[in-house]
Amino acid sequence: MHLRSILVPVDGSKGANSAAAFATTLALATGAELTLLHVFDNPSAACIGLHQLPQAEFDQTIQRVAQGSFDAAREAIAEVGTPTVHTKVTLGDPGKEIVAIATSDRFDLVVMGTRGLSPMKELLLGSVSETVMRHAPCPVTVVR
């Protein structure tokens, strides 16, 4: 399998940053490009009233939030090397959006972090990484 493109969902968490560093190692070894993806959760946007903002202001706010996640991931990436890195921001259900983008943009691999949810919370709430592993059209690597 030849890796050309690796999708790395990021949210500013330690797990996402570890995944970005791991993906960087793979990218440097294979010549693949990384795309950092930040999915702004739609219910979160609704809860804080972002949908009531004018579209331009809404877009700027989403970009600012995503930038924090991208900056944290880029710091982790810089500790490993300097692959080609792209960024993408979207709004929606994180698991579904990651799968949709992995599919539409034909990524070769998704590398993502996992949160250490207790088994009961995972059972009740579901898991973004679980959704992606079950539905992604490409291999998925989950990094702790």
pTM of the model: 0.88
Residue 120 in this model has a pLDDT that exceeds 50: no
Residue 59 in this model has a pLDDT that exceeds 50: yes
Domains of the chain (ranges; CATH) run 5-143 (3.40.50.620)
H-type helices in 51-111, by residue range?
Answer: 55-78, 94-104
Query: In sequence order, what are the residues at sequence separation of 6 or more whose Cβ sits closer than 8 angstroms to the Cβ of residue 117?
Result: 125, 127
Residue 123 in this model has a pLDDT that exceeds 80: no
Of the two residues 128 and 125, the one the predictor is more confident about is 128
Rounded Cα distance between 94 and 41, Å, is: 6
| Token duo for residue 90 | 């979207």
Query: In sequence order, what are the residues at sequence separation of 6 or more whose Cβ sits closer than 8 angstroms to the Cβ of residue 126?
Result: 95
Rounded Cα distance between 112 and 129, Å, is: 7
31: left (phi over 0), alpha (psi -120 to 50) or beta: left
Express each pLDDT in 88-102 by its tens digit. Answer: 999 899 999 999 999
